[in-house]
Each structure stands twice: as C-alpha cells, then as structure tokens.
Amino acid sequence: MTITRSDQDKGTLPAAAAGQDRPELHKAIEEIVESGFLGVSLRVHDERGEWAGSAGVAELGGTAKPPVNGHARIGSNTKTFTATLALQLVAEGKIELDTPAADYLPEFGLDRRITGRMLLQHTSGLFNFTGEVYDDGTIVHGIPVPYSTTGKEWVDNRFHTYRPEELVRLALSKPARFEPGTGWSYANTNYVLARLLIEKVTGRSLAEEMQRLILGPLGLSGTVLPNASPEIPAPHAHIYYRYEEDGQHKTVDITRYNPSWVSTGGDMISTTQDLHTFISALVGGKLLPAALLAEMFTPHATGIPNMDYGLGVFVQKTDCGGTVITHNGGNVGSATLMYSTPDGIKTLTAVLHWVDDAAMSIATAFPNAQQKLVNKVFCGKQADPARPAH
C-alpha cells in the first residue's frame, strides 16, 4: 500500500497522489523506521506527479501511522522563510542588504561591519546563543538546549518564554567567532536579528509580514508562526525525550513546548504539502525578482564538503553530481526536510520523528536516513527516460 491515510488525514491528499505506485519510496521510509525512528512522512513531486506516504507510528504505544500531511515543527526551514521575506523587503526598498545592520538596529551596538547580507549568509561571526563547539572541541554554552549537559534543564524549563532581544544580548555578551565577513559559522543569532530588523523596518510583527508576503499569497493555511505558544495544530505526530534521573530512565512527551528558545532560528510549524508549495514557488520565481533569487542561490563556501550556503538556503551537491536547493530543520525529537532541484521539477519534503536524548543517539542514523531519501529521489532512475529533463 503506497498511500497511508488515517481517519484524521482524510481529504489532505490530492487525487494525483492516490494513483501513484512507488514501492521504492515506501521501502525507503520503512527502512528508515527500522533504523531507529518512530515515524516518517514523505512527499515527493517529480516527473511522475505526486506521491505521499508514511511509515512507523504517530506516537509511542500506538498503532496509527504518522499523518501524511500532519503539522510539524520545521526547525531551521524557518530560516528560508525568513530570508525570503527579508529579500522581498529588499525588493520593496525597505532593506538594503549591504547597509550595516546597526543602522536598522542601533540599540544593540552591533559591529558596523555586519550587514544584512552577513546575517542571512551566516558570515557575521556572531556567537550562536544556542551554544558553540569550537575547532579544538571546546563547548561554550548559551541558553539551555536539549543536548549535552543542559538537556534535563531544557526539559524542566521547556515552557519558559525568551524574548528575541534577550537571546541577541546573550550572544553579544560572548566573543565573536571571527571578524565579520571573514568566515562562515551557522548561528541562530543571525536570524533572530533578521527578525528584529524586519519588524523594525515594517513596524509590524514577523507573523504579519509573513502572512502578507508569503503565507497569504501562497495559501499556506497549514503554516504557523507560533511565537511563544507551545501548541501545535492537529493532526501531528508526537515527539519524545528520554533522560535519567535518580537512576531511573524516564521518557516524556515533549510535543508541546515553547519554541521561543530558538525563535526565528527554527520556531515555525508547517506541513509537507505547504513546504512543497513554498519551495516550488521560491525556486520558480514566484516570490522574488530574478536578480534577488540569483543572489539567494549564489553559493558561499561553508567548509562543509558539497554544502555551500546562499542566503537562507544550502546549495548542495548530490552523490550523483546534481544540485539541490535545501535547508532542512533539526528540532528536538524531529526533523523536517525540504529539497528542490533548481528548476523546481523535483521536490522532496519529509518529517522524521523519534525519541531524543541529550546524547543525540539518533545522530548517526539521521544523516544516513537523509542521504537515503535524497539519493532515492534525486539520483534514482528516471521513471520515463524518453521524457526530456527540463
């Protein structure tokens, strides 16, 4: 059975999906579940049309499979939405990419060499408020996060509200990683500053601007900017965290938590259908003028093999030599994947969820799962070799 639909999913799958028989995709997600994940939901659009399916379970102790188009915390895919919004404001003349960010946000005393472009590109050098791991293995903590030694503290305080300004000031209290523009280092701080910059120049909240320029025009009704709300709309899979306390192993349901600890670094909620609609519209030129889209997708070296970064997107080489535009978002207990070919002909969006812990026990299985899906979708044999590639 290639399409998995529970009662709560009825009506979420277009008719095009129901006619697809893609045993290789179903087998791939079943194998991912067998490697240690609770569940996977996958959506693929390509030359053959649309396929959507799921494997595993939606919650511990249950038998229902994950909702095919359920809501999920999309983690750092939030950055792609935010970068797109910032570039739309560039197109409107409200932001200039190479103006010092301090001109827009004078209250933080930012280094005047840091520009809006550097925030979107992760070349500002600013400390990551969720913590840094340096080349020599040294760890410098920021706020409590679900990993390393602060995991239990994060669980206990997972409904705490952080203000964006608080996260920025924490980051600015730590030494920068490098001089602005001289390196690349992934930092959630950059995107919280981008949020504050957007709100400053528009006089409106990020959610209002996102609705005006992206969510409304694209009809992304399943996409939410939760701010500090712990709620996630139904249907959704559940996520969990395990830890040891007083010699006892405990597993808690952390599906509900306050996402303000990561803010615009990764707080949005969406569905695989909405993510497909968004990335397709983005690469298809429906959201940005051609010149700005080209800047967004211009690769900048990160030091990670085959993974350069543009403005809010990774420009990644596949194992078979192709290029995909992607970001992906890891969150405590879940991850959301979003990939597209530069021409938009193929997209892959997926949600994986598991029982997480401070040691990141899934850390080895996750990149293997990710690579399995990317290779299957973007490097597999074409269904119709006689059909020309666009």
Q: Note whether 256 and 237 are within 8 A (CB).
A: no
- The runs of H, that is alpha helices, within the chain are 15-18, 23-34, 77-91, 101-104, 116-121, 151-156, 164-172, 188-202, 206-210, 216-218, 272-283, 290-296, 365-378
Does the structure show a pLDDT above 50 at 335?
A: yes
334 forms bridges with which residues in the sheet? Answer: 331, 353
Instruction: Tell me the percentage of the chain whose pLDDT exceeds 90.
Output: 87
Do the bridges between strand 300-304 and strand 347-353 make them parallel or antiparallel, or are there none, so unpaired? unpaired
What pLDDT score does 4 carry? 36
Q: Residues of 315-348 as b/e, b for ≥16 C-beta within 10 angstroms?
A: bbebeeeebbbbbbbbbbbbbbbbbbbeebebbb
Residues contacting 243, CB < 8 A, separation 6+: 151, 152, 155, 249, 250, 252, 357, 358
What element of type H or E holds 340? strand 334-340
**pLDDT digits over 25-51, tens only?**
999 999 999 999 999 999 999 999 999
Q: How far apart are CA 358 and CA 371, in angstroms?
A: 24
**Cα 49 to chain centroid, rounded:** 24
What integer pLDDT is reported at residue 135 of this predicted model?
A: 82
pLDDT (tens digit, 9 = 90+) per residue, 115-128?
999 999 999 999 99
Structure tokens at 266: 């990764």
From residue 61, give the alpha-carbon distance in Å to each of 69, 250, 262.
21, 15, 30
What is the torsion angle, in degrees rounded to the nearest 10, for the CA atoms of residue 195, residue 201, residue 203 and residue 206?
-20
Is the peptide bond prior to 146 cis by the omega test (within 30 degrees of 0)?
no
Mean pLDDT of 197-207: 98
| Beta-bridge partners for 53 | 42
Nearest CA among 217, 208, 198 for reference residue 281: 217
Contact 233, 246 (CB under 8 A): no
pLDDT of residue 12: 44
- The whole-angstrom separation of Cα 125 and Cα 188 is 11
The yes-or-no verdict on residue 15 having pLDDT over 80 is: no
* Residue 383 predicted with pLDDT over 90: no
What is the pTM assigned to this prediction?
0.92
| CA–CA separation, 247 and 33 (whole Å) | 29
> Is pLDDT at 384 greater than 50 in this prediction?
no
Contact of 85 with 196, CB cutoff 8 Å = no
pLDDT of the residue at 381: 52
Spatial CB neighbours of 189, under 8 Å, sequence gap ≥ 6: 124, 126, 127, 128, 129, 167, 168, 171, 265
- Which tokens belong to 185? 């280092």
Tens digit of each residue's pLDDT (9 = 90 or more) over 208-249: 999 999 999 999 999 999 999 999 999 999 999 999 888 899
- For residue 201, CA distances in Å to 106, 265, 279 come to 12, 20, 25
DSSP 356: E
